[in-house]
Amino acid sequence: MPTVSVETNDRSEVLDVTDAVTEALPENADGVATVFVQHTTAGVTVNEAD
């Protein structure tokens, strides 16, 4: 299973991980990517790109 790790610099920070997740997927992948956070004080929000 591919893993994406990110580091933050501030206590509260919003990061766009779209490119990192896309690069972690196999080329020509078809299906669903599950993104989750293993830490209790972090979260994942899914938004539409502007």
Model pLDDT, residue 10: 92
Split at pLDDT 50, 70, 90, the class of 25 is very high
End-to-end CA distance of the chain: 29
> Span 36-47, mean pLDDT?
86
pTM of the shown model: 0.73
Q: Which domain holds residue 36?
A: 1-50
Q: How far apart are CA 35 and CA 50, in angstroms?
A: 20
What region does 11 belong to: left with phi over 0, alpha with psi -120 to 50, or beta?
Answer: alpha
State yes or no: pLDDT of 49 exceeds 80. no
Number of structural domains the chain divides into: 1
Listed residue (20, 18, 13) closest to 41, CA to CA: 13
The string of DSSP letters for 15-41 reads ---HHHHHHHSPTT--S-------STT
